[in-house]
Structures are given as C-alpha cells and as structure tokens.
Amino acid sequence: MTRSLEVNRLSKRYTLGASQRDQMLRERLIGFLKKPFRRKSAQESIWALRDVSFTAEVGEVIGIIGRNGAGKSTLLKILSRVTYPTSGSARANGRVASLLEVGTGFHDELTGRENIYLNGSILGMKRREIEQRFDAIVDFSGVEQFIDTPIKRYSSGMRLRLGFAVAAHLEPDVLIVDEVLAVGDAGFQKKCLNAMEGLRNSGRTVLFVSHNLAAVENLCSRGIWIDGGQLRMDAPAKEVIAAYMGSFAGERAPGSNLSASGDRLGTGEIRYTRLEYLNPDGSPYAMTRSGDGLIMRLHFHAKASIRDPSFGFQLYSSMGTLITEVGHWLHGMHIPKVEPGDGYLDVEIDSLNLVPGSYAVSLWITGAGGKPVYDGDVRAALEVEAADVYRSGRLLSSRYGLVYFPQRWKYAKA
Amino acid sequence: MQDLWDFRELVYFLAWRDIKVRYKQTAFGLLWAVMQPLFTMAIFTIFFARMAKIPTDGIPGPIFYFSALVPWIYFSTTVSNAGMSLVSNSTLLTKIYFPRIILPAAAALGTVVDFFVSSLLLIGIMVYYGVPVGSSLLLWGLLLVLLMLLALGLGTFFAALNVRYRDVKYALPFFIQLLLFVTPIIYPTSLVPERYRWLLSFNPLGALIESFRRVAARESLDWHALGISVLITVTVLIASVVYFRSTEKAMADLV
C-alpha cells in the first residue's frame, strides 16, 4: 500500500496569555524602555500536542476521538497547514483538503451561485473544476430554487447543505473533516455519510473527527484516540471506541478529584470524601450526556456527631456562572443527627438538562441556617457529552447556551 | 512565489468578491467609484484653487486635482483595505490553508476597478479641456503598476503588523490622513521651496502622484524624482514581504 500521510513526533506548544499581553505595541515599547536588555521571560505555556506519530495508507478512513480539549482540533489544524507545529513534521502525499467548518468564507451578500464559486476556490478547487461540478453541487445541496438568492436569506440548514455540497465535490487525496456531521437533519447526514463512503471507495484517505461515536464506528476502519495531547491508542475503530468508552467508567467518579482538604473552607468536623456518579439504575456510569439520568452520590466522613447538618452544592459553568444551587433543606428533608463515621447522600437527577461541556460542582456542608461551615468550596468536575435530546438527529452543542429545557413544538395555521 | 502562482485563481475570486460585495444593494453601484473623486475635485477646485488661490502650475483645476485624486484614492483605499485584510478575514485564516499574502494582494486588485472607472472620467475631462489623450494612456498604466506595488508593499506590512498589534487599526487612518498633506495633491510640488524639495523625495508617493498629474497634463516627467520613488517602492515591497513571511507561520495562532 502507498502511504498518503506521515505524521512524525508532532508537537505544538501554545504560550498562555501571549495573544493578549503582546497585543499592544505600547506594552512592548514600555517594556523595552524599562529593561532594554531583558531577555524574553519564560512564559507559561501548554503543550496542546506532544509527540504524536502515525501514518495513514491510501484509502484508509481514520476516526479521531478524544475529549474536548484533548488536542484533536490542533492536530487537524496542523495537518491542514492552518497552523504550524512547534516541532515534528506532518507530510501528505497529494492534495489535502480540509473541512474544519462547513461553508468557510461564505459571504452573506452573495448568491448561492456566487458562493459556490467563492467557497470552492477557497477550498482549493480550480475554476474549471467548479464549473464542471456545478450542477452536481447544486443537485446535492437541494437549494436549486434559491441558487440566485443572496444566502443571507437562507435558513441555517440551507447554508449548511450548500457548504457541504461544495466540500463533497472536492476530490482531494487526503480529506480532513472536523465534526461536520453533528449538524443537519437525518436525511442530510445520511447523504454526507454516503459521500464519505464514496471517497473511501475511490481510494481517498479521510481523517474524521467526531463526537458521534456511532458514525465513527460505521465509517472508519481505524481509530486514533488523542488524550491530553498525546496519542493514547491507535487500533481498529471498534477497539478504540470500546477503550475510550471504558475510560469514562474506569474513572471512578471525580471522587478522587475532590479538591484537597487544604484548599477547602470549613472547620472539618465533617467532610466530603468522594463524589460518585452512577447511572439511574445504580450501575457505575460510563459517561453522561445531555438529558440522561444521573445519580450523584455524595460520600462524607464525620469525625464527631453532628446535629442538624445541611448538605448541598452549587453547579457552575466552565466560565464560572452559577447555574443552580440546591440542598437537601430545600426538599423539606431533615437529618437530625449524623453519627461519627462514613455515610452518603444520593441526589437523583431524572434528566440532566445541561448542554454538552465541562461543569464544576462545588459541595458544601454547614450547620442549620448556614453556620458553622463544616466543609465548603469542595470542587469536582462534571463532563457532559453531546446527545440528540430532541430526537431529531441533531446534536445539542454548547452554542445553545447552558441548559436545555424539554419542550415540544406544534405548528398551526391561524 | 510558486505558491502564489498556484493560488492565483483565489486572488482573483477574493478580489471579485470584494468588488461584488462593495456595490451590492447600492443604488449607484460603480458610479460611486467616480463620485468620490468627482465631488472632491469640485470642492478642491472651488476652495483651494479659486478661493485660497493655491497655484495649479497652469494646469486647469479639474485636471490638476482629478488626476492626483484618482491615484490617491486608489492608494489610500488599498493600503487601508489590505492593512485590515488579514484581521477581517480571520475566519478564513484559522480554517483554511492558502498563502496568506493572497489576502492583501486581493485587496489591491479589488480596488483597481474603481481606478479604471474613474480614469475613464479623467479621459472625459481631458477631452473637454482639449488635452490630447493618446500615448498618455500607456504611461498612465505603467504608473499604475508602480502605484499598486507601493500600495501592496505598505498594505502587506500593515496587514502583518495588525495581526499582532491591533494598534494598526487606529494608526492607519491617521497615517493616511497625514500622508494626504505631505503629498502634492492639494498643491503642486513647485509650491515647496527649492531647498526643501529633497525632503519630498523621501515620500515615494509624492513623485508618483506628481507623475500621474503630469501625464494627464501632457507635461514631461521628472525622471530623477520618479527613479528615487521606484527605488524606495521596491525596497518597501521587499522589506514588507520579508517581514510578512517571517510572521506568516504564527498568524493563525495570533489573529
């Protein structure tokens, strides 16, 4: 077989804060005036990717999976030559086309027809190629009637279809696709999957990032799991997905990740020891998706006998916005006394109405009426994965706010 | 350079997009390209030539001003569009690979249509004043090439700088405004005392615009001044492209 992609010890380091601090020329000038001979100080940096190596053969379809922030997008950006690696190399044989976003470069004021030319050209098609495939693109998109209408009048679904239609008619040797199937209706998704099948059958190499594990499993022969910037596993897709799912279960709840008692508030007569997440039936949980049921088991340990304790927690978004605060007191529950030793409370959640993302839980135990604080500011993490909560084939994403609320829509003529 | 050639169609498409978008949903469309220099010329003729009695070297006011305004408007629009081109197309920059220099290059090409349209009006004005057009057209086109290179050079430099330092957004309009006054547009070069005139030669745009004007008035060119201008233009262009290339790799991470 012929090699179409060769990735060798790829690393990428980002300097934290650099994009803001260095932005003003003034800062630089003042810095220079103050200390003209100062060397550049060692700034804080993170490795988004570290020593990632793999190769791809012609005709392989590889699914890249991993959690949010694991480095998947950075990898794709480097492979698409949008950004450059700090060290290591990535080489592709033949034409590479990347689809990090559908409809990149679409301009609202231009018509569908004009945008096909513009977008095609941005994606690397020659004018002649676009002309040849124009009818097929329009056909695929299904927006024929509106092809001479400015796309600012298009619905978001129509724009998406048009964007994917152009991309589907690229004929690159290596195609890089980032999470484009997460959107669009079921029929259209099927069309996209078929288009990607077609690419595979015609001997193209496809790299495909998705949170939709089912799609990865269907489409990809091989899976690559990126975790914390490193390549964790490279094996047949089924095996990688199984291992990836297993990693959520193996993580015995972020109980081990409760903030250290030194970082906590409170007197400490009674403290939380572990936060365990369980499936509604009490089995150890693999991962939580929007709309799933969940049991939060709050384990605690009391050193002394505590009268009238009050248990509760706050839930924060990753940006630090308080989403909700609850406690057992709000439920009219009364726990007269906790004896020394271990115990737990179960918080049963029927439906976790959160959009996908990372959340922070902050646990507390106080006396009745909030005083004294026994244990406070106990941090734990909660990861929520994307799900098709409206059963429409469309995944909920973090773009839709912080929470989702169950609802139904009906249409009627007045 | 090879890259640039491979992606030449993209330059064309982006320039075409800029032109299309600029005049979409406007009632006057391309007429705007002539209205701006036309009205400015009228105001200049009335206030500067008639009222302030600033000399025009014996050239009829409309030709004197219009022939300088056409290249000036091209230059100032191009430098500011090209200077903002990377930042305003940041979604492209972070999603797709292409040689980054395409963006300022497309900006320089997108404004040239306006230059052509207003040049047509200039021909009309020349005919009205009985100035023979003929071979001037060739020189006019040659000067345009120089003007484009200078605008592209400065635009490329500002574009790269703007990615890192957003100060450019504030400095650029100010810079362009000052340039208007140190360039012989409102006044002729001959107004500047002989012993200070060498200072003007540091401004490559000065000799260039003076040349445009002389071509339109069928007067002989100051080849010496133009030569210095060409030298500076080439230096600016090379230095800018070198600077641009050196910052290119980090652009997607910074923008």
CATH code assigned at A349: 2.70.50.60
Q: Judging by beta carbons within 10 Å of its beta carbon (0-12, 13-18, 19+), is residue A308 exposed, middle or buried?
A: middle
Measuring CA to CA, how many Å separate A113 from each of A119, A140, B15? Answer: 10, 13, 17
Per the CB < 8 Å rule, is B253 touching A14? yes
- The answer to whether position A32 is within a domain reads no
- Mean pLDDT value of segment B193-209: 89
> Do the Cβ atoms of A24 and B25 come within 8 Å?
no
Other CB atoms within 10 Å distance of the CB of residue B255: 18
Q: Which domain covers residue A224, as residue numbers?
A: 3-7+53-248
Predicted pLDDT of residue A184: 56
How many other CB atoms are found less than 10 A from the CB of residue A18? 16
Examine the domain organization and report whether A203 and A97 are in the same domain: yes
In a domain? residue A23: no
Closest CA to A282 of A295, A293, A299: A295
Residue A282 falls inside a structural domain: yes
Domain count, chain B: 1
Q: Which of A192, A221, A248 is the last residue of a domain?
A: A248
Per-residue pLDDT of chain A (414 residues; tens, 9 = 90+): 678 899 999 999 887 655 444 455 666 666 666 655 554 555 678 889 999 999 999 889 999 988 877 888 889 999 988 899 999 999 988 888 888 877 788 898 899 999 999 999 988 888 999 999 999 999 988 889 999 999 999 887 788 889 888 888 888 888 888 876 555 566 676 777 787 778 778 888 989 887 767 678 778 889 999 998 999 999 998 889 888 877 765 454 444 467 666 677 888 889 998 888 888 887 776 677 888 888 899 999 999 898 899 999 999 887 778 899 999 888 888 888 899 999 999 999 999 899 888 888 889 999 887 778 888 888 888 888 877 777 776 777 777 788 888 888 998 987
Give residue A248's pLDDT.
66
Unique residue bearing structure tokens 């709309």: A291
Q: Is residue A281 part of a domain?
A: yes
A234 and A262 co-located in one domain: no
Local confidence band at B171 (pLDDT 50, 70, 90 cut-offs): very high
> What is the ipTM, given to two decimal places?
0.85
Q: Does residue A172 share a domain with residue A124?
A: yes
Q: What is the rounded distance in angstroms from the CA atom of residue B175 to the CA atom of residue A403?
A: 48
Is the preceding peptide bond at B99 cis, omega within 30 degrees of 0?
A: no
Q: Is the pLDDT of residue B41 over 90?
A: yes
Q: A123–B96: do the CB atoms touch at under 8 Å?
A: yes
- Please check whether residues A211 and A224 belong to one and the same domain: yes
Residue A389 lies in a domain: yes
Say whether both A69 and A165 belong to one domain. yes
Task: Give yes or no for residue B118 having a pLDDT over 90.
Answer: yes
Q: Judge whether A219 and A208 are in contact, CB under 8 Å.
A: yes
Q: Which of A284-298, B53-67, B148-162, B192-206 has the highest mean pLDDT?
A: B148-162
* Number of domains chain A contains: 2
Task: Give the N- to C-terminal CA distance of chain B in Å, as an integer.
Answer: 23
Q: Give yes or no: residues A83 and A208 share one domain.
A: yes
Both A89 and A216 in a single domain?
yes
Question: Residue B18 is part of which domain span?
Answer: 2-254
Answer yes or no: is A153 within a domain.
yes
A190, A222, A248: which is the final residue of a domain? A248
- Examine the pLDDT at B99 and tell me if it is beyond 80: yes
**DSSP assignment of A228-279, as one string?**
TTEEEEEEEHHHHHHHHHHHHHHS-GGGGGSPPGGG-BS--SEEEEEEEEE-
Substitution target from A14, A122, A126, A209 for chain B, most B beta carbons within 10 A: A122
Write out chain B residues lying below 8 Å of A82, CB-based: 93-97, 252
Do residue A236 and residue A259 come from a single domain?
no
Of B14, B20, B249, the CB nearest to A114: B20
**A333 and A350, same domain (yes or no):** yes
pTM of the model: 0.72
Query: Are A63 and A129 contained in the same domain?
Result: yes
Q: How far apart are CA B172 and CA B168, in angstroms?
A: 6
Closest Cβ opposite residue B165 in set A23, A80, A110: A23
Partner residue facing B17 (CB), from A96, A104, A107: A107
Interface of B with A in 139-178 (CB under 8 A): 164-167
Residue A192 domain-assigned (yes or no) = yes
Asked if residues B140 and B209 have their Cβ atoms less than 8 Å apart, the reply is: no
Q: What is the CATH number of the domain that holds A161?
A: 3.40.50.300
Q: What pLDDT does residue A160 have? A: 82
Do A212 and A275 lie in one domain? The reply is no
Distance CA B103, CA B87 (A): 10
In a domain, A21, yes or no: no
Nearest to A83 among B25, B92, B253 (CB): B253
Judgement on whether residues A128 and A213 belong to the same structural domain of the protein: yes
Residue B190 has pLDDT above 90, yes or no: no
Residues from chain B contacting residue A23 (CB–CB below 8 Å): 164-166
Residue of B nearest to A18 (CA): B254
Q: Are strands A357-366 and A373-385 parallel, antiparallel or unpaired?
A: antiparallel
